[in-house]
Each structure stands twice: as structure tokens, then as C-alpha cells.
Amino acid sequence: MTAPVQLRGLNHFFGNFQALKDINLEIAAGEYITLLGPSGCGKTTLLSIMGGFIEPSEGAVLIGGKDTTRVPPARRPTTTVFQDYALFPHMTLRDNVAFGLRMAGANRRDRHRRADEMLALVGLEGGGAKRPHELSGGQRQRVALARALAVDPDVLLLDEPLGALDLKLRRAMQDELKSIQRRIGTTFVHVTHDQEEAMAIADRIVVMNAGRIEDAGPPARIYQKPASLFTAGFMGEMNRIPARRGDSGLETPFGSVNLASPEASSLILCLRPEAIRTTQAGFSIGPARVRDAAFFGTHVRAHFSPDAEPDFVLVAHLPPGRVPDQGEVMTLWADPDSISVFPQEN
């Protein structure tokens, strides 16, 4: 099953420390959301509030349109998958997966049928009689997922579910999680601090910083047109070109440029390495000298500096072709839509 989630005016304090600040978010039924942000930004606190493990100091959580703010975890239509999986070591996989159904009073035959179905869903068909110690980390993660899904929650909450896996397995499990979510249509809210994981998996990424939501949107928009300087810096490699408002536009280390910009005397132009071109495209950044360049297979990675400020370095990922020579001067171009301009933070 599936349901929408509404978070309204959530604030949360641990003693005097404010861990969540004015959180408002609408999650659609069947949406795959990732909560992304650095350690300590409040992701787990927010997930715990959705799961009923923490009662917020202020605000409300609505699931399926019903106020569940004060409903305990076992009585709300959510289940949570924790990072450590917390499987029962003495039980078989089938009994682990069927545990929630047993608590809910389902009979043995129905429990086992459902547990076998769920084990098959996560790719562990026929493994019901095994015990957790016989499994790899990735398989244990699958059992934890099967157990959470066995009770047919409307909303599945996942707290760094892939955090304990090595990188290769992690990437494979991301694809699987997404495909399972598509098949069953349950609303998933998945906490991670890994930007690539968030982009690989989410319909919408919610970027958090210091207890607040900084940005929320589809991965491509968050990556290409971040709403804040924080999001711009957090989502992958980003060039930050300082600029001052002058008589003939914005003065950058590369010269003057004309770009729409917010009202501020000091600004930062954000531009992804792959948005830079050395052939004419919409907007000229200005001339720059190649410091070094190397072939990386899918692209040529080059460092450029303007002669006026040789200590300033711009990273460009150019199409794989000729590797420019060190010392060569080239005019750099970009699509104006690929540049985001923010006021300089103090």
C-alpha cells in the first residue's frame, strides 16, 4: 500500500539545541524521497519523527491525511529499516521476515507464505530456512528490507540502509531498491549522506543543512540549478567564481560578464566542470590559460587560470578529443542556464 506524507511546521529541540527548524514538506503517495545532507544536519531526527520514535517539539506529521504526530511506531502505517538491520540471529530468515506479522496475530501458514513472497521479492527465493550468520552483508540488508515490507506499510523509512556495504554492492543495491519500490508503489523515504546514491535513486532529493531544508526537487534540477550556495557545493564538484558588481556588469577574474543576478555587491557564480566549453556556446566566460590537462576516457579534465589572477583555478571537463597544451590560452564558454549566481556568504 502507499500514502502521502505531510510535514507541517516541524521544529525539534534536544534540550536547548534546535535540531530541526521549520520543516515543511509534502511527499506524494508512491514517491521515492531521499533526505540528503552532511552529518548532524537532522536527517535521522526527521526520519525518526516520521516513524514515531521521536515526538516533535512543534508541528505535525500527517500520513494518508491523518494526523499521526503522537501515534506510536507500532500503530502507524510506517516501518523503518535501520542501518544495522537488527535481524534476530537465532531465527530463520522466514521467521525474521514474518516477525511483524506474528506480532499482528497472523496465523503460521499466512505468515510463512507472505515471508516467502517477500524473500523472493528481494532476490532470496528459497532461502527461508537459513539463519542470518550464513548471509553476506548485502543479503542481510535484503532480509531487513523483506521484513519491513512484509507488514505492507504505506510508507517505508530507510536510515542509511546501504551504509555498511562496500561501494560495488551499494551501487547494485541502489538499483534494486529503486526497482522494488517501483514494483510495489510504497512511499519510500531514504536517508543518506551520499550524493551519488541520492541521485541514483530518488524521484526527489531533499537537501538538509543545519536542521533546515535547503532545497527539494528532482535530482537533475538540484544538480544543475541548485537553489542555494550550500546545495551547489554539496552536490558534486562545482567551480565558484567570485564576482563584484561593476559599471559594465559582473567583474570576475576572467573579465566582465552580463548575467542576471541577485541584489548584492559580492556574488559567487557557480558552474559545473562539465558545463564549460572551449568552442563557442551561448555565453563567454573569458580567456584563460591552461595550467594542465589530462585525458580521463569520458572527458578531458583541464585546469584553467586567468592571466589577471593566476592563483584562481577553474576546473573544466571538456569533451574527449584533443588534450590542450599547457600554457595555451583559450576562450571559455558556457550555456548561461548552467550558471547559478548567489550572493556571497559572509
Which residues of this protein are in contact with ligand ATP, per CB under 6 A?
14, 17, 19, 37, 39-45, 193
Q: How far is the CB of 234 from ligand ATP (least distance, A)?
A: 13
Pick 23 or 146: Cβ nearer ligand ATP: 23
Q: How far is the CB of 41 from ligand ATP (least distance, A)?
A: 4
Pick 17 or 105: Cβ nearer ligand ATP: 17
Pick 195 or 239: Cβ nearer ligand ATP: 195
Dist. CA 315–CA 302, nearest whole Å: 6
Pick 40 or 185: Cβ nearer ligand ATP: 40
CA–CA–CA angle 268, 274, 280 (5° rounding): 90
Question: Residues 327, 292: contact at Cβ < 8 Å?
Answer: no
Within the chain, strands assigned E span 5-14, 17-27, 32-36, 58-63, 66-67, 78-81, 155-159, 187-192, 204-209, 212-217, 239-246, 249-252, 255-257, 266-271, 276-277, 283-295, 300-305, 314-318, 329-334, 339-343
Q: How far is the CB of 81 from ligand ATP (least distance, A)?
A: 15
Q: How far is the CB of 48 from ligand ATP (least distance, A)?
A: 7
Dist. CA 45–CA 43, nearest whole Å: 5
Q: How far is the CB of 214 from ligand ATP (least distance, A)?
A: 13
Pick 36 or 119: Cβ nearer ligand ATP: 36
Distances (CA, A) of 9 to 6, 32, 41, 249: 10, 22, 17, 40
Dist. CA 190–CA 196, nearest whole Å: 13
Q: How far is the CB of 201 from ligand ATP (least distance, A)?
A: 17
Q: How far is the CB of 40 from ligand ATP (least distance, A)?
A: 4
Q: Which of 285, 282, 283 is nearest to 316 (CA)?
A: 285
Pick 36 or 288: Cβ nearer ligand ATP: 36
First and final C-alpha spacing in the chain: 47
**What burial class does residue 258 get, using C-beta atoms within 10 Å of its C-beta: 0-12 exposed, 13-18 middle, 19+ buried?**
exposed
Residue 155 sits at φ, ψ, to 5 deg, of -135, 130
Question: Residues 37, 209: contact at Cβ < 8 Å?
Answer: yes
Q: How far is the CB of 53 from ligand ATP (least distance, A)?
A: 10
Pick 25 or 276: Cβ nearer ligand ATP: 25
Beta bridge partners of 286: 332
Q: How far is the CB of 64 from ligand ATP (least distance, A)?
A: 25
Pick 18 or 284: Cβ nearer ligand ATP: 18
Dist. CA 13–CA 310, nearest whole Å: 47
Pick 23 or 275: Cβ nearer ligand ATP: 23
Question: Residues 78, 50: contact at Cβ < 8 Å?
Answer: yes
